[in-house]
Amino acid sequence: MTEPGRRVLYAIGCGSPLTRNLGRLVAAGQRDGWDVCAVLTPDGRKFADEPSLARQCGHPVRWAYKNPGEPDVLPPADAMVVAPATVNTVNKWAAGITDTLALGLLVEGQGKGLPIVAMPFTNAAMAAHPAFVESLARLRAWNVTVLFGDDVMPLHAPGTGERHLDHFPWELAVGALRARAGTNGRVH
């Protein structure tokens, strides 16, 4: 259960080997005072250690929509970070597709005006696809903080992503949330 007045952050992990390290985002959020809840895409579950994330967060890990009439087991989000954000998730999100819980939460959170940070992790070939480039531009235009590019983490060649997992800058996402709260005077 969340302490009264404590901000809730949804840490959303997608179908990438990087999701094995989602606990690093959880820890960074907790150090910054957030009550962090982990949410995964169905493909994100292939990489995550759900029992470990549940223990670290103190909340169940969600990955599927609940059944009608069931209570929600997570407190409502005040902010969201989707990292790693895959090309698939970014493109579906920018198109308004909500076929997974993670996408539904992102689309709804955007509609509520929650601060959202997206940190894609992909290779140079996939990042060059016009749909992905356009989707990132759309998300940025819609007030999503997108942390992506050589200034965040240089792109890697296809098939070499595993070599770069330990260099992903998880802390940047939490810092971006802190900066957003400072610029608009509100802490969500």
Q: What is the pLDDT of residues 47-89, one digit of tens each?
A: 999 999 999 999 999 999 999 999 999 999 999 999 999 999 9
**Residue pLDDT, tens place only, 101-116:** 999 999 999 999 999 9
Distance CA 175, CA 164 (A): 21
Within the chain, strands assigned E span 8-13, 35-40, 79-85, 116-120, 145-146
Q: Is 159 exposed, middle or buried (0-12, 13-18, 19+ CB in 10 A)?
A: exposed
- Here the CATH number for the domain that contains residue 95 is 3.40.50.1950
Q: Is residue 153 situated within a structural domain?
A: yes
**Phi and psi, residue 162, nearest 5°:** -60, -30
Per the DSSP assignment, residues forming a β-bridge with 62 are 39
* pTM to 2 decimal places: 0.92
Structural domain contains residue 185: no
% of the chain at pLDDT higher than 90: 81
**Does 169 map to a domain?**
yes
Residue 49 lies inside a defined structural domain of this protein = yes
How many domains does the chain contain in total?
1
Tell me, yes or no, whether 43 lies in a domain. Answer: yes
